[in-house]
Structure 1
Amino acid sequence: MAGKPKVTIHHIAEKLNITASTVSRALNDNPRISEITKKAVLKAAKQLNYQPNNIAAALRNGKSHIIGIIVPTADRAFFASVVRGIEEIANKLNYKVIICQSYDNYEKEVQTIDALLSARVDGIIASVGKNTDNFDHYKRPQEKGIPLVLFDRTTDALEVSQVVIDDYLGAYKVVEHLIQQGCRRIAHFTSPKKVSVFKERLRGYTDALRDFGLPFEEELVIKSNLQLEDGRASMEKLLELELKPDAVFSASDYGAMGAMQVLKERKIQIPQEIALAGFGNEPFTSFSDPTLTTVDQFSLTMGRITAELFFEHFKSGDKKLVPQKTVLKPELIVRGSTLRQPK
């Protein structure tokens, strides 16, 4: 059975016995249209279940009032909080967002960029997937004059504005804290992917060891996708070493929680025998037993700043502003999983 025909401004005009152009102006809050007419048009639009055609509107006036947001996954507290911050700013300016997930899949990311461009979004805000090492698809919005801003997982291969946390400093602070707690053989869970955040966290780990006179040992650096199951496998691998670590710093909270599960199953005391620290301040870190030391990335603030930067570029046509890199300072949150020494 055929569906009902789509309601257009012509149906509203016919119902109110006015012209379609008057309906269009009323819906766009044109000051030339009286408040009485605007209210009548809005009431009729609601009664008829009128849905505006944003693509058609974008073709007419060059603006869709929609921003595309690409995240690796929306079910992580960090990305959900960043999106919330972006929406707070966007909604105040009468903009809506389309949230897309790449699932760290390069092909999916490419397809998403194309889909958002086809949908005539006014701009794109994105966090690059772990498996992305070719960024040509991110050049397409720029070639079309559409603003692009990256956050968290970024790349210097593109001349775009970025908002990031100081991942290097966050990692350095974690290792410094572990050393102050008496740890001397500190392992690190990292990612093999060429993503800036993990490279910077590894660099912070390495430099902190060096600055405090501790050797860098390749066997203590375990590469994985940093999911819960990866943390479990990585911890099992470390426990097979003849000389076991006395601390683990994971570049993600999920990896650290996987490690914690293994240590508890083996009845290895945390932090007395092996201290644990993560990165990201996921909500579960404050409920684990022991609670997990981690790094707060101020995700909500990151989202708001990213949106503000985006709208700066959008208002300027993205031609007058030089790409900017905003670096937020992280905060080390010390909890029970690393506290060997009294505060």
Structure 2
Amino acid sequence: MEIKNKVTIHDIAEKLNITASTVSRALNNSPRISEATKKAVLKAAKQMNYQPNNIAAALRNGKSNIIGIIVPTADRAFFASVIRGIEEVANTLDHKIIISQSYDNYEKEVQTIDALFRARVDGIIASIGKNTENFEHFRNAQKKGMPLVLFDRTTDELEVSQVLIDDYWGAYKVVEHLIEQGCRRIAHFTNPKKVSVFKERLRGYVDALKDNGLPYEEELVVPSNLQLADGRASMEQLLQLKELPDAVFSASDFGAMGAMQVLKEHNIQIPQQIALAGFSNDPFTSFTDPPLTTVDQLSITMGKRTAELFFQQLKSDDSNFIPQKTVLKPELIIRKSSLKKDK
């Protein structure tokens, strides 16, 4: 098979019998180049399938107009919607995005930060993986002058701008709602890592119990990675207790879905015997049987605000930059999985 070399500005220059510097200036719309020459260069570039070397351009100009985005997984509706919000703002400012997935793997996250830096992106927007407890790779990127903004899964151990929802308030409202429905023994699925969202949801759960005169019972709090299989295992664990819970609040919709599957397999009625609530308002939650009570995280709004903070930092003088924190108020979505009382 014949391997074709990549077309360069020197190839275009040779075809048009002009200098490579003229081709470069024409491609960059320099006012020093005539319109006729610009048209001829653009036509030749298209005919020859010329692809600009973005990394080389970034080295010359100090800008690539590309933002690196790191998410735990891009196939989750929440992260996909946040990315959409970021991209809508980026497109208006002539920036493109590169999306990388960490799969909640610390080593993968470290490698991705390094790869994005070597790709000369203008900066990084990230949501921290569940298993990340050491943030030195993010600090190293900052030390190298890389703008960094965190969203959703953030940490106060880094001095960065961040956008998140009020996870504490969202969790508090879920538990308060379950108590209003007559629930008195409410279990909670959480994640034991350092990621702020799960710590705040646990704190909201604990405070809602306390404020309503209910005890915190350690046996009702089950830590896991909060995926579907984890929800199943956590629910099976709760069913081994001498006294069953009358409600389960999962810090993720996937954990709640796993619990729902197990309860159905054991012929336990939802919500009459055990009420269920999740967190995130993933699309499937409105189609479960019964539909799942959850918390809407305002994902597109979060993406847009995250992009706005990123571009503010990108345009700022590093010496005067002060990180900003935006906290969005989530919305409790009440559905049949938690409605014990007839309305």
TM-score category, normalised to shorter length:
over 0.9
Q: Secondary structure at the match of 1:319?
A: helix
CA spacing shift, 1:196–1:19, aligned 2, 3 Å: same
User: Separation in 2 of the partners of 1:342 and 1:18?
Assistant: 81
How is 1:168-187 mapped onto 2 (pairs within 5 angstroms)? 168-187=168-187
Show the counterpart of 1:249. Answer: 249
User: Separation in 2 of the partners of 1:159 and 1:23?
Assistant: 43
Q: Residue by residue, what CA displacement relative to the aligned partner does 1:244-265 show, whole Å, maximum 9, x if unpaired?
A: 0110000000000000111111
User: Separation in 1 of the partners of 2:36 and 2:63?
Assistant: 27
Tell whether the 8 Å contact from 1:85 to 1:304 is kept in structure 2 after alignment: yes
Q: Residue by residue, what CA displacement relative to the aligned partner does 1:152-176 show, whole Å, maximum 9, x if unpaired?
A: 1111111111111110000000000
- Cα distance, 1:29 vs structure 2: 2.5
Q: Residue by residue, what CA displacement relative to the aligned partner does 1:120-146 show, whole Å, maximum 9, x if unpaired?
A: 111011111111111111012211212
How is 1:230-245 mapped onto 2 (pairs within 5 angstroms)? 230-245=230-245
User: Separation in 2 of the partners of 1:230 and 1:45?
Assistant: 54
Cα root mean square deviation, aligned: 1.3
- Cα distance, 1:30 vs structure 2: 2.5
User: Separation in 2 of the partners of 1:336 and 1:22?
Assistant: 68
Show the counterpart of 1:218. Answer: 218
User: Separation in 2 of the partners of 1:180 and 1:31?
Assistant: 69
CA spacing shift, 1:85–1:35, aligned 2, 3 Å: farther
Q: Residue by residue, what CA displacement relative to the aligned partner does 1:24-47 show, whole Å, maximum 9, x if unpaired?
A: 122223233344433332232222
Letter in 2 for 1:281: N
Tell whether the 8 Å contact from 1:164 to 1:328 is kept in structure 2 after alignment: yes
Show the counterpart of 2:286. Answer: 286
Show the counterpart of 1:299. Answer: 299
Show the counterpart of 1:99. Answer: 99
User: Separation in 2 of the partners of 1:32 and 1:336?
Assistant: 68
Tell whether the 8 Å contact from 1:146 to 1:318 is kept in structure 2 after alignment: no
User: Separation in 1 of the partners of 2:69 and 2:78?
Assistant: 14
Instruction: Note the residue ranges of structure 1 that are not aligned, 5 or more in a row.
Output: none
Q: Secondary structure at the match of 2:81?
A: helix
Show the counterpart of 2:261. Answer: 261
State the TM-score, normalizing by the size of structure 1.
Answer: 0.97
Show the counterpart of 1:198. Answer: 198
User: Separation in 2 of the partners of 1:171 and 1:47?
Assistant: 58
Letter in 2 for 1:338: S
- Cα distance, 1:6 vs structure 2: 0.9
- Check if 1:120 corresponds to 2:120: yes
User: Separation in 1 of the partners of 2:164 and 2:118?
Assistant: 28
How is 1:39-188 mapped onto 2 (pairs within 5 angstroms)? 39-188=39-188
- How many correspondences in the alignment? 343
Q: Judge which range, 317-326 or 261-270, deviates more.
A: 317-326
Letter in 1 for 2:309: L
Q: Judge which range, 32-41 or 310-319, deviates more.
A: 32-41
User: Separation in 2 of the partners of 1:44 and 1:178?
Assistant: 67
- Cα distance, 1:65 vs structure 2: 0.9
- Check if 1:321 corresponds to 2:321: yes
Letter in 1 for 2:95: Y
Identity %: 80
- Cα distance, 1:2 vs structure 2: 5.5
Q: Residue by residue, what CA displacement relative to the aligned partner does 1:214-255 show, whole Å, maximum 9, x if unpaired?
A: 010001001111010110111111111111011000000000
